[in-house]
C-alpha cells in the first residue's frame, strides 16, 4: 500500500504564473503572503488612517502588471517597489492640501498630544519610528507592527539577511534613544526597563479584508 505525498506549498513563482492566467485564487494566495509586507511599507510612509485603503490599491495595481514581472521568483521585491511608488504618489497627490501644518515638519505634524493612554502611546512610538532613516523605519515597522521575523522580512523584501539584521539593530538603538528623550521630556511615562515596544505591537496590523 502506498500513500500519496503530502501536497507541497505553492511557491511565489507558481502562484504568479497561475495568477497571470487569471487564477484569482492564486492571486489571493499572493495577497495572503504579502499583505503584511505591503501594510508595513505603507505604514512607514503614509498616515495610518490611509494605509488599509492603499493596501488594496497596491494589489489592484499589481494584478494587471504581473506580465511585466520578468523574474517570477522576485515577486516580493517587485511588489515592495510598487508599494513604495504608491506611497510616493500619495504624497504627490496630497501636496498643497496640508493647510496649517505647512509650517511644521512632517514628524512634528504627526506627533499626537502627550498622553499615557496605550493607543496614544503606540501612536507616539509610531511617529518616533517614522522619524528614523527610511531603511530603519521600514524594517522596524515590519518587525514590530507586522510581527514579521528577520528571515521573513529578508525573504519578502529581497533584502539580504545581513542587511535586515543591521537595520533592526541600528534602528532599535536609535528608537530607544528617541524613547528615552521623549520620556525625559515628559511626553511618555514608563518604567525605565520597558523600551516601549510591546505597546506598539498589534496596534497597526492590517485588517482582514476580502481578497482583491
- Rounded to whole angstroms, what are the CA distances from 108 to 118, 130, 137, 162? 20, 11, 16, 32
- Rounded to whole angstroms, what are the CA distances from 24 to 17, 19, 80, 129? 11, 6, 20, 36
Pick from 155, 134, 103, 110: which is nearest to 41 by CA?
134
pLDDT of residue 53: 95
pLDDT of residue 113: 40
Q: What is the pTM of this model?
A: 0.77
pLDDT of residue 199: 52
| Cβ atoms of 17 and 118 closer than 8 Å | no
Q: Along the 212 residues of the chain, how does pLDDT read in single tens digits?
A: 444 444 445 789 999 999 999 999 999 999 999 999 999 999 999 999 999 999 999 999 999 999 999 999 999 999 999 999 999 999 998 875 554 334 334 444 443 444 445 577 778 888 899 999 988 999 999 999 999 999 999 999 999 999 999 999 999 999 999 988 888 876 555 544 444 455 566 556 666 555 55
Pick from 182, 206, 208, 186: which is nearest to 195 by CA?
182
CA distance 177 to 104: 23
Amino acid at each position: 500500500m502506498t500513500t500519496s505525498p503530502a501536497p507541497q506549498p505553492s511557491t511565489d513563482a507558481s502562484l504568479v504564473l497561475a495568477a497571470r492566467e487569471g487564477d484569482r485564487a492564486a492571486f489571493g494566495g499572493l495577497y495572503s503572503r504579502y499583505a503584511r509586507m505591503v501594510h508595513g511599507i505603507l505604514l512607514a510612509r503614509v498616515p495610518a488612517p490611509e494605509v488599509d485603503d492603499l493596501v488594496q490599491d497596491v494589489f489592484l495595481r499589481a494584478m494587471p502588471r504581473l506580465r511585466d514581472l520578468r523574474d517570477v521568483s522576485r515577486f516580493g521585491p517587485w511588489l515592495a517597489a510598487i508599494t513604495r511608488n504608491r506611497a510616493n504618489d500619495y504624497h504627490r497627490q496630497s501636496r498643497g492640501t496640508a493647510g496649517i501644518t505647512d509650517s511644521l515638519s512632517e514628524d512634528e505634524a504627526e506627533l499626537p498630544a502627550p498622553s499615557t493612554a496605550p493607543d496614544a502611546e503606540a501612536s507616539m512610538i509610531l511617529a518616533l519610528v517614522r522619524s528614523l532613516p527610511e531603511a530603519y523605519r521600514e524594517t522596524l515597522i515590519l518587525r514590530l507592527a507586522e510581527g514579521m521575523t528577520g528571515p521573513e522580512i529578508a525573504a519578502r523584501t529581497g533584502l539580504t539577511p545581513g542587511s535586515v539584521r543591521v537595520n533592526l539593530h541600528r534602528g532599535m538603538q536609535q528608537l530607544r534613544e528617541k524613547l528615552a528623550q521623549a520620556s525625559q521630556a515628559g511626553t511618555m511615562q514608563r518604567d525605565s526597563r520597558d523600551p516601549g515596544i510591546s505597546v506598539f505591537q498589534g496596534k497597526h496590523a492590517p485588517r482582514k479584508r476580502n481578497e482583491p
